[in-house]
Structures are given as C-alpha cells and as structure tokens.
Structure 1
Amino acid sequence: MKRDDHLLLSSSFGTAAGAYAEHRPDYAQAAVRWAIEPAPGLRVLDLGAGTGKLTATLVAAGAEVTAVEPDPAMLAELRRGLPAVRALQGSAEAIPLPDASVDVVLAGNAMHWFDMAVAGPEIARVLAPGGVLAGLWNLLDDRVEWVAGLTRVSPVEAIGPRDTPASWRAETAGMHLPRTDAAARFGSPEQAEFPHGQRRTAESLVATLATRAGMLVMPEREREAALGRVLAYLAGEPDTAHGEFTLPMLTGVLRVRRL
C-alpha cells in the first residue's frame, strides 16, 4: 500500500468514533488470557487502543492498563467510556512511556497500521525483559455457510485481508515483528485462534462494516450502494433475516515474547 493511502486509511477512524464505539466487537476473553499468559506481570499497554474495545476486556481481566491512541476523537470516546483508565495520546512510533515500564504490549486490530521499522524499537524500549507483544484481530468465521456468502458479497473495503482465518494466518505469518538486535531479543512468533461472537441484526452488522477504514473513505454514493447490497444479502438469508443473530467469529492472536 502506498504511504499516502496508508495514512488516509489509518486516520479515517476519528470521523466515525461514536459508531466505532457502538458497533465494533470486543475480543474473546480466552484470547486475551492467552496473549498475556507468559508475561511476568499485568502492567499492560493497549497500543492503538481506539475507543477502548480491548482496553475494557483487559480491565475486566484485572490488568493494570495504560491505553495509548493517536486519534483525538477516538481517544475522547475511550476516555468517556472508561474514565478510570489511564489514557494517553501517542502512537506506536512514539510511545509516551518510560523504558521497561510494561509487561505486555497488546494491539487490537491495530498492529497492521504500525510502521514496525520505527514502532519495533519503541515497543522493545517500553517492554520489560520477559514481556510479551501480541496483536489481536477479530475474524469472520467463514466456515459457516452464510458468513462465507457475506464475505463474497461484501466489498474488499469492508471485508479484506486479515478478516477471515485463512487470510489472517497468511498475513500475520509474514508480519514484521521487532527484529532481533543487541538491545532486545524476541522469541519465535506464535499464532492461536479462539471462538468468539457478536450479537447483531442485519442493520447493525451493516453499520459495523461501515466503520471499516476502506468504507469510511469511500465516496458516499458508492458506499451506500455497497452496503445496500450487503443488507439485501442478509435480508435474504434465513439465519440473518429476522431479528438478532450471533455473528460467528474467531479472535486470532499473534504473540511473541521478549527474551
């Protein structure tokens, strides 16, 4: 992806911060537990925290959480929803924390936005020896027939790379994690997937897809047409046409430990 396109997409979420907070899913608790399991303590940095979807799950798990988010509108939503959490403006490339000050760095649906050539040394700097870096992604479980159909009718801007288990495995297998150097060495990356789900209606699932970066920057007429096709598909499926249903998902985790 070209740098200008990357910046446009990564900076789009603030325009829909309220919708993001309302419609985006949280993360499977088992996935969060697995992500932080090897860490020496529970001082956790939620990096690229958005409106606090992962932050809230971490708080519920008893972690001592610091949330860092670059977008002012997203950060305002996080502070409104989780006023007791320490929430700072900053980025993966410039983390406003001291050296070795956290045991875990987590990123929920955010690590693919990081410039790891810059963010990698920053993460290594704030992460204590023995600490853990993990990315979490919510995936659509396309082993379910109607979900597979949804991925076929949805535009790539709404459901793209990393959004289904097979594509996520391939994408994260090649993801650039912090490189081994004299200052900090990391072990081999591990992947795991955990069952998850989100209660939705056809309308609220369409609203969820509308918060994807590619959809947010799409011309309005084109976006409305694309979302209309998705809504028509959901209205025609027995599993999704009438009232609430559970959207079958998995939370995928990519974990690496600092040695």
Structure 2
Amino acid sequence: MDQDDRLRHSASFGAAAAAYAEHRPNYAQAAVRWALERAPGPRVLDLGAGTGKLTATLVARGSDTVAVEPGPSMLTELRRALPSVRALAGRAEAIPLPDGSVDAVLSGNAMHWFDMAVAGPEIARILAPGGTLAGLWNVMDDRVDWVAGLARVSGTAAIGPRDVPTSWRTETADLHLPRTGVAARFGSPEQAAFPHGQRRTADSLIATLATRAGMLVMPEQEREATLARIRAYLASRPETADGEFTLPMLTGVLRVRRL
C-alpha cells in the first residue's frame, strides 16, 4: 500500500467513529501486560488511539495514560467515553509530547497506518531510555474452521492478512522500525499472541466488519454485495446462525525496546 492509499484508508474511520466504538473489540488483558512488562515506568502513550479501546484498558490497569489521535470524530468519541484521560490531537509523525516523556508507546490496530520512516524517530524521541514500543492487533482465529470460511467469503477488504494469525506475524514483523539510522536506537523485536474473544451475533459481527478500512472506502454497491455475502455465510453456519456466539480471536503483540 503506497502513502496515498495509506492516508485514504486511515482517514476513512472518522465517518464510522460511533460504530467503531460500539463494535470493535477491546484487547486481551494478558497481551497488554506482556506489552508493558519491561517498561521502566507507568507513563504510557496510546498512539493512534481511535475511540479509546486500548486507552480504556490502560487506564483500568492504572497506567498514567495519554492518548493521541489524528481523527477529529474519533477523538471526540474518545473524549466522550473517557473524559478524565488527557487526549490530544496529533499524528505518529508529529507527536505533541516532550522528549523522553513516556515509558511506553502502545498502538492498537494502528501502527500499520504510520509512516515509520518519520514516526520511528518521533517515537524514539518521546520514549525514555529503556522504554517500550508495542503494536497490538486483534486478529480472528482462522485456525477455527468457520472463521477460516468467513475469511474466504469476506475477502481482504473485510478480513485482510493482518486480521488472521496465520499471516499477521509476517505482515507486522518489520513495522516497528524504518530502514534508517533510528534502527540503532531499538533492540530486536519480539512477537507473541494471546487468546481473546468477543461475544457477537451475526448482525453485530457484520457491523464490526463494516468498520474495516477496506470496507469503508469500497464503492457502496460493492460494499453491500460483500456484506450480503457475509450475512448469507453466517446464516448457513450452525455456530453463527442463531443468537450469540463467541468470535474466536487472538491479540497479537509486536514489542521492541528503546536502547
């Protein structure tokens, strides 16, 4: 994906901020603990915070949390949901915080939107020595048969390579650093995945998939056809045809330490 496409997709969430807040899952507690276990202190930045899904988890665990989000609609939703959190307008490429002011930078389902050639030095600048940079991604567990079928039916606009565990490691492995001198400021990356799940109905799962960037930028007729195909598939599966079910998920984490 080139820079223009990245910007177009990342900007698409604003129109769906309320739906994003309602339908997107939170993050596995064990994943957040692992992401932060080596951080030298409690000061955490949620970068590309969206509507505050990860921010809320950080606040609940007692972290001294600040959120930075570029989208006005997403930021408004975050401030409404978490009025006590310091929430700032800003981008990963221009973070409105002083040098060395946080012990960890976490990013929930957002790091792949960053221009890391620019954001990498910015993150290194605001991190204290020994600080942690971690990206977290909620992925659907396609080791489960019906989830694998859903991924095939949905297409990559709804369930892309970063959305399933069979490929998220490869897709995210190099996202933490630009290929510049800033790489010398970070150690070797580590990856881990933690069991997670979300209670859904067929309707709410369809609503979740409709908030994916690829779906939001899709032409309306194609989008409706894709959602209809997903709806028919879910109606055909005994696991999802009636009432509530648990969507099998993992929270994957990419973690690296600032030297």
Instruction: Name the TM-score, length of structure 1 as normaliser.
Output: 0.97
Q: Relative to 1, partners in 2 of residues 1:182 and 1:227: Cα closer, same or farther, differing over 3 Å?
A: closer
1:50 corresponds in structure 2 to 50
Separation in 2, partners of 1:78, 1:254: 24
Separation in 2, partners of 1:240, 1:43: 41
1:255 corresponds in structure 2 to 255
Equivalent position SS for 2:231: helix
Separation in 2, partners of 1:182, 1:73: 32
Quick check: 1:145 aligned with 2:145? yes
Per-residue CA distance 1:136-158 (angstroms, 9 max, x = gap):
00011011111011011002100
1:231 corresponds in structure 2 to 231
Q: Relative to 1, partners in 2 of residues 1:180 and 1:257: Cα closer, same or farther, differing over 3 Å?
A: farther
Separation in 1, partners of 2:12, 2:56: 22
Q: How many residue pairs end up in the alignment?
A: 259
Separation in 2, partners of 1:3, 1:95: 19
Separation in 2, partners of 1:249, 1:18: 22
Bigger helix share: 2
Counterpart amino acid of 2:25? P
Counterpart amino acid of 2:119? A
RMSD: 1.3
Separation in 1, partners of 2:186, 2:116: 14
Per-residue CA distance 1:24-73 (angstroms, 9 max, x = gap):
00000000000000011110000000000000011111101000000000
Structure 2 regions of 5+ residues with no counterpart? none
8 Å CA contact 2:44, 2:64 repeated in 1? yes
1:89 corresponds in structure 2 to 89
Give the Å deviation of 1:174: 3.0
Separation in 1, partners of 2:142, 2:170: 15
Per-residue CA distance 1:84-132 (angstroms, 9 max, x = gap):
1000000000000000000000000000000001000100000000100
8 Å CA contact 2:158, 2:209 repeated in 1? yes
Counterpart amino acid of 1:251? T
Equivalent position SS for 2:208: helix
8 Å CA contact 2:158, 2:212 repeated in 1? yes
2:22 corresponds in structure 1 to 22
Q: Relative to 1, partners in 2 of residues 1:182 and 1:81: Cα closer, same or farther, differing over 3 Å?
A: closer
Give the Å deviation of 1:219: 1.1
Quick check: 1:136 aligned with 2:143? no
Q: Relative to 1, partners in 2 of residues 1:182 and 1:84: Cα closer, same or farther, differing over 3 Å?
A: closer
Instruction: Name the TM-score, length of structure 2 as normaliser.
Output: 0.97
Separation in 2, partners of 1:173, 1:181: 18
Give the Å deviation of 1:176: 4.7
Quick check: 1:118 aligned with 2:118? yes
Give the Å deviation of 1:161: 1.8
Separation in 2, partners of 1:221, 1:137: 29
Counterpart amino acid of 2:162? R
Structure 1 runs (4+) greater than 3 angstroms displaced: 178-184
8 Å CA contact 1:124, 1:178 repeated in 2? no
Separation in 2, partners of 1:30, 1:99: 29
8 Å CA contact 2:24, 2:208 repeated in 1? yes
